[in-house]
Amino acid sequence: MRKSKQETAETRERIVATAATEFRRQGIVATGLSELMGAAGLTHGGFYRHFDSKEQLVTEAGAAALASTTETLSGAATGKLRREALRAIVAKYLSTAHRDHPQAGCAFAAIGSEMARADKKTRAVATDSFAKLVEMLAACFEDVTPTEAKKQALVAASTMIGALLMSRVVNDAELSKSILRNAENAIRDM
Amino acid sequence: MRKSKQETAETRERIVATAATEFRRQGIVATGLSELMGAAGLTHGGFYRHFDSKEQLVTEAGAAALASTTETLSGAATGKLRREALRAIVAKYLSTAHRDHPQAGCAFAAIGSEMARADKKTRAVATDSFAKLVEMLAACFEDVTPTEAKKQALVAASTMIGALLMSRVVNDAELSKSILRNAENAIRDM
DNA sequence: TGTACATCAGTGAACGCGCGTTCACTGATGTAC
DNA sequence: TGTACATCAGTGAACGCGCGTTCACTGATGTAC
């Protein structure tokens, strides 16, 4: 039953991608490895051919999830400049579509509180991704100094993540939309 | 071994208070009932004399945690008016002390992503508490119309929660402080 | 290039453990007369 | 007010279950000659 090198690499990628989805959908602790491997079309016994531990998968899945979000946002801004790019990024991030599909969205909003308790490597990955998101936003503020742009970008990122998280927590459709829309407007006017 | 009505009520309160702390410290799913009851000075068997399920405790502990945070912030603002009250609230919320003690702080930042997946009752409790926090902040913006004040308060709340969450996620002390300080300044200048 | 053998991806059973929940039991509290 | 009895808070063992991890096994892949 040994698989070719290419198949092995594909399987590994599939496990990471499945984990990135399932962790964001259900939470890290609440997602079991058996369930995860089943969702990836495998039995659980093979897991340790690819990873040393669940923790290692958490690190890699976190990195994959965050990279995908950064890429999506960056894609929404391609061909656009400065403020227009900012608007596109923020509109995408604070959309109801993003709110309603945590399994495919920003890991900070979906599993942020679990990431704050994760091991060193996972937090290092999260720190890098956050820095990239801030850089992307800072590039949109050209009318101010780079230092000021970075400050504004830090605030914008915090607002976006907090707003998306709370739009999912609250049980009131109107309030939820209002959180998203007002955060979007505020960043637009920064 | 039956306890008096007062002792029973005290025990129940103690379990809720312990849960409010432990859930914020370790996460909801990661906190077991045996461990929790032990931390409250009891054995696990007695749990179901007080609660129907873990879910019910989650609801009550969430309510207790959020009420305590709202109260603390409200306390920081007593005797202060408008912008001065805003500064006091935001300074308290975005302090390094708050960041470093999630078990005693805002549940949205500590277990927000788990609350977003919680049952109806817990989310209703969370929604009420968020609305109260927004009201408290809105009361600080008196130089604008009530509608505008509420909008600014929604944004301020999102920024505060997102900033506190990310200050805990990142693995870089300088970046962490920078997130808190810039969010604080931004809200001060709203 | 063909053959013999070592490697190892994936399977499925098993490990010890802790989970949420239930239950028989104890004995102090609360209540009815 | 005092007594008899019902209630029930808390204990600790047990329930079935799923957790993360390990392991013997299978058989196709990769490699050495």
> Alpha-carbon distance A105 to B29, whole Å?
22
> Alpha-carbon distance B153 to A123, whole Å?
30
pTM of the full structure:
0.96
Q: What share of chain B is helix, strand, coil (3-state, %, to 5)?
A: 80, 0, 20
> What residue type is assigned to position A72 of the chain?
T
Q: What percent of chain B has pLDDT over 90?
A: 95
The spacing between the Cα labelled CA in B45 and the C1' in C23, in angstroms, equals 10
Q: What angle do CA A147, A152, A154 make, to 5 degrees?
A: 95
* Mean pLDDT score of chain A: 97
* Helical ranges in chain A per DSSP H: 5-26, 33-39, 47-50, 54-77, 82-93, 96-100, 107-115, 120-138, 146-169, 173-188
Q: Nearest C-alpha of chain A: how many angstroms from B32?
A: 12
Q: Which residue has the tokens 């939820």?
A: A176
SS3 A5: helix
Which 59-78 residues of chain A touch chain B by CB within 8 A?
Answer: none
Residue nearest to nucleotide D7 (CA to C1'): B2
Q: What's the rounded mean pLDDT across residues B156-168?
A: 98
Determine if strand C comes within 7 Å of the CB of B31: yes
Determine if strand C comes within 7 Å of the CB of B43: no
The spacing between the Cα labelled CA in A34 and the C1' in D16, in angstroms, equals 18
Tokens for B117, please give them. 């997946």
At B154 the pLDDT is 98
Determine if strand D comes within 7 Å of the CB of A117: no
* Helical ranges in B54-189 per DSSP H: 54-77, 82-93, 96-100, 107-115, 120-138, 146-169, 173-188
* Mean pLDDT score of chain B: 97
Of B162, B174, B139, B121, the C-alpha closest to A113 is: B162
| Total residues found in chain A within this entry | 190
Nucleotide minimizing C1' to CA distance for residue B30: C19
Q: Nearest C-alpha of chain B: how many angstroms from A98?
A: 14
DSSP for residue B117: T
pLDDT digits (tens, 9 = 90+) for A64-106: 999 999 999 999 999 998 999 999 999 999 999 999 999 999 9
pLDDT digits (tens, 9 = 90+) for B99-128: 999 999 999 999 999 999 999 999 999 999
> Alpha-carbon distance B110 to B99, whole Å?
9
